[in-house]
Structure 1
């Protein structure tokens, strides 16, 4: 995040991606708090990587349905970049397949386009801080996927993955799966937030996932699949 000179306020830099100029204008009008700045816009998925490299946003608000490159492929491309920003997927069609595709592509958040202004602002702040931001429907869809585990194969694979973690990394991962923020995990473990972020970064790297939502999926599969 970019610090504001002469102030303790940190500004969250946002890239808005949508093929509809009216939607981009609406999101700009919503993202007006002092701690949020829309630094750039993109009209299609194939413009996103260039825009991220040019403007270095902290968060990308990503439409999923665009004519040349859809938001799923664009999200995966963004998350593959070094120091990738968090991505919040937004769509008018919050189907189960769209939600799961977005999460698997690396999105840290998922919102319907009819979400209220406060919900959108809260999601941007949450993802910028390293937390997730799933709408209630998206959260239910992700949890429902955990119950679909033929023969317990996903549970066994997830448990094998978690063996790669140190005790502290596994502890932090468990708290992430409970929905705790980095600050709350720091309080529970008596660690600094910076140390929590370090353990979280190492855990995601070892498990081959890109964000805390995917990390939580692995932990939940290990604990709940096959019940």
Structure 2
């Protein structure tokens, strides 16, 4: 019996090669605002992909996120973490495949607010809480491996780090929530896992410590990192 043929990413998408940079970090670290600022400064040469949870409710991703948020859980935990993980992965694949060559004309860099690493890290922490015998790092790597045939990991990932308590306070204020202890545990474990993933994949990760930075300073640091990544890529192509 012939093995089933599993399709990979669409060929048209594979030919599109702007530099794909995902920006990661704990909730409240200042990631999204820095991305918006840098994308605006770079202008047409940059395409910004907003975080899944910021998608318009009239879109398919927005409808999925709304359904997952129906329980009121700040991390979209609806009680079925495997299904939720697959849903997030499917949305990230859809996002990738919907980009056409026309969409990216003149685009040098894609700035993605939370990429596949966020799904891997947060869902690994949530899954491990329900299955104590499983290690979050192993789960995160497995989630990334599951995604790989359908959507490659980004060319580069910039991880913003900072004071966790400050970031958590900002996150709670922004959402108008009083975070429960189990929410704080997720944030604490995600911080550890982000660090471990970055150490395991130094060829892809750039870590920026923005502790004590103003919003403008965080954006400046991110832009510097992105410009450096663009220049390094251009140097490789020119060699």
TM-score higher than 0.5? no
| Greater relative CO, 1 or 2 (CA 8 Å, sep 6+) | 2
Task: Tell me the TM-score range normalised by the shorter chain.
Answer: 0.3 to 0.5
